Amino acid sequence: MFKILTHFRNLAIVSLISLILTWSLPVQADTKINPQLEQQVLEIIRKNPEIIIKSVEIYQQQQQEKLQQSRQKFINDFQTNPQSVIGDSPTIGATKSKTVLIEFSDFECPYCAEAHQTLKDLLAKYPNKFTLVYKHFPLYQIHDQALPAATVAWAAYQQGKFWEYHDALFTNQKQLGETLYLDTAKKLNLNLTKFGNDRKLANKSIQKDLLLAQQLGLGGTPSFIMTSPNFAGPVKLTEVEEMLQGKQ
C-alpha cells in the first residue's frame, strides 16, 4: 500500500508542480521553469503530503461515481430496450425471450472456453428461455491471438456462420493461428475471398465492443450482464441457471 501511495504521490507532485508553475509564469512559446521556484514548490508539497493523498482519493472517488453512473445507464437501457444494446452482435437461443444474457468474451481466454461449454449446455437445456448475445472483449495485451481470432469470427458472422466458427475456435483453442482460421473457413464452406476482405473490416465493430466493456469497467473475461422480468445487471455464470429457473 505504501508503494502505491508513493507512486501516486510522485505522479501528483509532477502534475501539481507543472500546474502551479504554469499559473506562476506568463504564457510564452518557450517557457523555462525557474529552478528556484521549482524547489520552493517541491518544498511546500513535501511539507504537506496529505494534500496529494487527498487529491488522489477525491479523483478515485469521482472516477468510481462516473463508472457507477455509466453502468446504471447501460443497465437501464438494456432493461427497457434490449435490442438497442444487442445492436448487430451475434445472438443465439430464443428469438423473442424477455431474458437476455450478454457475454463479453475472448477466444484465447481459458476461462471463456470453460464458460463456452457451460453456455452450450444451458442453451440445450433451456432452448426457449433466454437469448445469448456475444460481445467481443479480446484481451490483446496478454493474448496475442485474441484479436486475430475475433476478426475471423466477425468475418464468419458476415456469412451467417458466427456460432459454428465460434465453437471451432473454442474447441481448438490451443491451435489458434492462421492455419486453424483458414481450415475452419474452408470446413464451413465460407467464400474465402469475402472472408479475407471482411477480416480487414472487423476492427470497427470489435472496437465498439471493447469501448463498451471499458465504459462498464469490466476487468476480465468472461463477463456477463443479464436482463429478465425480475432482474437486470451483472451476473455470475454460476447464477444463470437459477435465474432461468426463477429461483432468484
Q: 33: which DSSP letter?
A: P
What is the pLDDT at residue 63? Answer: 63
- Indicate the helix (H) or strand (E) that contains 119: helix 110-125
pLDDT surpasses 70 at 102: yes
- The CA distance from 5 to 217, in Å, is 22
pTM of the entire predicted model: 0.75
In degrees and rounded to multiples of 5, residue 132 shows phi and psi of: -100, 130
Question: What DSSP designation does 134 have?
Answer: E
Distances (CA, A) of 105 to 72, 136, 147: 21, 6, 11
Q: Is 80 exposed, middle or buried (0-12, 13-18, 19+ CB in 10 A)?
A: exposed
At 47 the pLDDT is 77
How open is the CA angle 118-119-125, to the nearest 5 degrees? 90
Name, in order, each residue with C-beta under 8 angstroms of 224's C-beta and a sequence gap of 6 or more.
Answer: 101, 102, 103, 104, 234, 235, 236, 237, 240
CATH superfamily of the domain spanning 82-244: Glutaredoxin (3.40.30.10)
Task: Report the SS3 class of residue 190.
Answer: coil
What are the pLDDT digits (tens) for 166-186?
999 999 999 999 999 999 999
Task: Specify the domain boundaries for CATH 3.40.30.10 within the chain.
Answer: 82-244
Identify the residue with better confidence: 15 or 73: 73
pLDDT confidence of residue 74: 81
First to last CA, the chain: 38
**Beta strands 131-136; 100-105: pairing state:** parallel
pLDDT, residue 133, reads: 97
Contacts of residue 156, Cβ cutoff 8 Å, sequence gap at least 6? 162, 164, 165, 166, 184, 185, 188, 190, 195
Residue 131, strand partner residues: 93, 100
Kindly state the cell numbers that stand for 234.
451483472
pLDDT by residue (tens digit) across 5-53? 444 445 454 454 454 444 444 444 445 667 888 787 777 777 777 766 7
Q: Average pLDDT for residues 73-102, to the nearest whole number?
A: 91
Type of residue at 206: I
- Which grid cell is 210? 471493447
